Amino acid sequence: MLTSPTSDRSIAQSRWEQMFPTLDGRAIERLRRFGEAKTYAAGHPVFRAGQVTPGLIAVLSGKIEVTQRRGHDQAESIVTHGPGQFAGELAQLSARPSLVDADVLEPVDAIVIPTTRLQDLMVQEADLGEQIMRALILRRVRLLEGNIGGPIIIGHPNQTDVLRLQGFLARSAQPHRVLDCDTDPCARALVERFKFDPHHLPIVLCPNGKLLRNPGDRELARCLGLVTPINPEKIYDVAIVGAGPAGLAAAVYAGSEGLSAIVLDCRAFGGQAGASSRIENYLGFPTGISGLALMARAYNQAQKFGVEMAIPDEAKWLGRPSLGEGFYQLRIGDDETVQTRAVILACGVRYRRLDLPNLAEFEGSSIHYWASPIEGRLCKDQHVVLVGAGNSAGQAAVFLAGLARKVWLITRNNSLGANMSHYLAERVKARADIEVLTNTEVAALNGSDGNLESIRWRNNVTGEQEERAVRHLFLFIGADPNTDWLGQCGVKLDEKGFVHTGATIGKELKALETNLDGVFAIGDVRSGSVKRVAAAVGEGAQVVAAIHAHLARNARQPNIFGPVGAG
């Protein structure tokens, strides 16, 4: 969002007309049946940052100016909407609070389309819906590029909790700013005004005006409106635990086929795929795409079809509720519950950690489990060590090599070929700034005050050890199934903790069914699954057919709770 297409050389210039289209008279008439007519007087606030908006605002006459706050009583103009244009971005698609302000410059006649009707528009008016959806996505990209709107983090830029909050917001596609409390005058004044103890830093100023002291991810998400209370009385057709490629694919197909669905994830959407700097072997993207960009598309696509997102919200227990057979209950954070007719386990895996006594001391500041632009900025012109030999490790090594001075890629294997795609292994070998150390493992970490200073590694064949000054270590050494929370529900797991499905149970079950009727498992958490993004997406699509069959079987039995899809 800009005041003119020439004021930025990025997306605002190259795709201005798509970002801020002017709809013709026929398109406006097609919008009318999805909204209500409304008038606004000059000076009226249409919506405010931090507050849920009434919906998408299509301007028939008059002007609406969209602004961002740059300080106390200071506003910077982003764009002015005139007749035929509409105010809103992705927040309107899911009834999330606005990231910016909008005020009436000249008296406005408008059509206001609320979230539920906006989703209807996307489905029923394909070409018009595509045009609006593209504009909403591009506007969010512009907000992210310019760090426009969203919360302000105040602290030391390299502080562990600052990096944690930045990572959460980045992976949640939320624009934000970080102000250094030592060098930024506004940040320093705020800290001094409220007399914050250094131990309370970082602090976060949310768009709704609330000030949080070093919040957890979920507390911040609540303040930003990313997570809202769940209706304990509503009965969903399917609850999907996990928002990685498998879970989001299941959400898209379930929503597009009219099922009421909710997605839960304890961190952020995208799973491990969302942390990948570049995916080049996913069908349809010959030049590659970042994992976050791919997963953000799926996340928005699911919301387009009316899927509810509760992220971050952690599933802690699965069992039968008082409703009886044919229903399940999920208990999640803050003692909330989700009632559902079926459950899809797409809860994926959690990153493995090196077995070193002082590893936890450096996590968050010097130890990283993904390589995003945030970590890239920390490692600029430095020497870094990366442990792993799979595709994620290879992608991260190539990404970091473009920023760091040198990357040591350490693997216990005798080559990269066993677990890494051939094209990626060849690319790694061709980089002069990546040195591959095979038959090697990290032996010790040294540092102080939570900051890594050097790493010692050992060659397991020769026994030789070497220590280098390194401040950042990246770990891509595989993962373990995220199934600890399933211990009491009766779902069968294999010896490694992955969920048994189909023939692996020894019963006549469909491929993705668990031993519990109405509970399915897909993606990395499923025993015997192929650990690839495309395979996970395929299972996400496949499982929805099985869900339909399960719901149809139950629908033949007396059901006082309403038809499938009623929610």
pLDDT score for 69? 82
Is the separation of the CB atoms in 343 and 328 below 8 Å? yes
Residue tagged 């001075």 (tokens): 405
Alpha carbon distance 230, 228 (integer Å) = 6
Whole-number average pLDDT of the chain? 90
Asked, colleague to colleague, whether 152-224 and 359-477 share their fold, the answer is no
Indicate the SS3 state at residue 540: helix
pLDDT score for 186? 85
Indicate the SS3 state at residue 430: helix
Residue tagged 């491929």 (tokens): 511
pLDDT score for 6? 37
Alpha carbon distance 93, 454 (integer Å) = 47
* Averaged pLDDT, 307-333: 88
pLDDT score for 355? 93
Alpha carbon distance 193, 267 (integer Å) = 33
307 DSSP assignment: -
Buried b (16+ CB within 10 A) or exposed e, 289-309: bbbbbbbbebbbbbbbbbbbb
* Averaged pLDDT, 482-490: 91
pLDDT score for 73? 61
Chain segment 8-49, per-residue pLDDT in tens? 456 666 789 999 999 999 999 999 999 999 999 999 999 999
Alpha carbon distance 11, 5 (integer Å) = 9
What are all long-range contacts of 198-201, with beta carbons under 8 Å and residues at least 24 apart?
201/154, 201/155, 201/156, 201/159, 201/161
Per-residue confidence band for 428, with pLDDT thresholds at 50, 70 and 90: very high
Per-residue confidence band for 508, with pLDDT thresholds at 50, 70 and 90: low
Of all residues in the chain, the percent with pLDDT exceeding 90 is: 74
Is the separation of the CB atoms in 357 and 487 below 8 Å? no
pLDDT score for 323? 61
Q: 307: closest CA among 282, 332, 344? A: 344
| Residue 49 CA to its chain's centroid (Å) | 21
Phi and psi for 385 in degrees, rounded to 5?
A: -120, 135
Q: Does domain 235-350+480-555 have CATH number 3.40.50.300?
A: no
Identify the sign of the CA torsion 121, 124, 125, 127: positive
* Averaged pLDDT, 480-486: 93
**Per-position DSSP letters for 181-221, written without gaps between them:** TTT-HHHHHHHHHTT--GGG-SEEE-TTS-EEES--HHHHH
Alpha carbon distance 191, 199 (integer Å) = 12
* Averaged pLDDT, 536-547: 96
96 DSSP assignment: P
Buried b (16+ CB within 10 A) or exposed e, 43-76: eeebbbbbebbbbbbbbbebbbbbbbbeeeeeee
Residue 155 reports pLDDT greater than 50 = yes
* Averaged pLDDT, 293-302: 95
* Averaged pLDDT, 440-455: 95
* Averaged pLDDT, 497-525: 87
pLDDT score for 192? 85
Angle at 504 between CA 503 and CA 505, to 5 degrees: 90
Per-residue confidence band for 560, with pLDDT thresholds at 50, 70 and 90: very low
* Averaged pLDDT, 113-134: 95
Provide the total of helices (H) and of strands (E) in the chain, helices listed first. 15, 29
Neighbouring residues of 50: CB distance < 8 A, sequence distance ≥ 6: 97, 98, 206, 207, 208, 209, 225
526 DSSP assignment: B
* Averaged pLDDT, 343-357: 93
pLDDT score for 4? 36
Give the sheet arrangement for strand 177-180, strand by strand.
Answer: 177-180, 152-155, 203-205, 211-213
Q: What is the CATH number of domain 359-477?
A: 3.50.50.60
pLDDT score for 386? 97
Alpha carbon distance 245, 261 (integer Å) = 16
On the 0-12 / 13-18 / 19+ scale of CB atoms within 10 A, 198 is: exposed
Residue 441 Cα distances to 103, 133, 290, 459, 463, angstroms: 59, 48, 29, 7, 11
Q: 409: closest CA among 424, 398, 418? A: 398
Per-residue confidence band for 2, with pLDDT thresholds at 50, 70 and 90: very low
Q: Does domain 11-146 have CATH number 2.60.120.10?
A: yes
Alpha carbon distance 559, 551 (integer Å) = 11
Chain segment 46-100, per-residue pLDDT in tens? 999 999 999 999 999 999 999 998 755 678 899 999 999 999 999 999 999 999 9
Q: Quote the crossing angle between the two packed helices 291-304 and 126-146, to the nearest 10°.
A: 140
Between residues 466 and 71, the one the model is more confident about: 466
Q: Provide the CATH topology of domain 152-224.
A: Glutaredoxin (3.40.30)
**Partner residues linked to 541 by β-bridges:** none
Per-residue confidence band for 280, with pLDDT thresholds at 50, 70 and 90: confident
Is the separation of the CB atoms in 273 and 294 below 8 Å? yes
Alpha carbon distance 275, 392 (integer Å) = 9
Per-residue confidence band for 213, with pLDDT thresholds at 50, 70 and 90: very high
Residue tagged 């038809």 (tokens): 563
Token pair of 460 as six digits: 């397991």
pLDDT score for 351? 87
Least confident of 177-191, 322-336, 412-426: 322-336
**Per-position DSSP letters for 100-169, written without gaps between them:** SEEEEEEEEEEEEE-HHHHHHHHHHSHHHHHHHHHHHHHHHHHHHHHT-SS-EEEE-TT-HHHHHHHHHH
Element (H, E) at 228: none
Alpha carbon distance 348, 295 (integer Å) = 15
Residue 191 Cα distances to 13, 50, 71, 188, 256, angstroms: 37, 22, 15, 5, 48
Of all residues in the chain, the percent with pLDDT exceeding 70 is: 94
Per-residue confidence band for 408, with pLDDT thresholds at 50, 70 and 90: very high
* Strand ranges, E, within 341-495: 343-345, 349-351, 367-368, 383-387, 406-410, 434-437, 440-448, 451-459, 465-469, 472-475, 479-481
Domains of the chain, residue spans: 11-146, 152-224, 235-350+480-555, 359-477
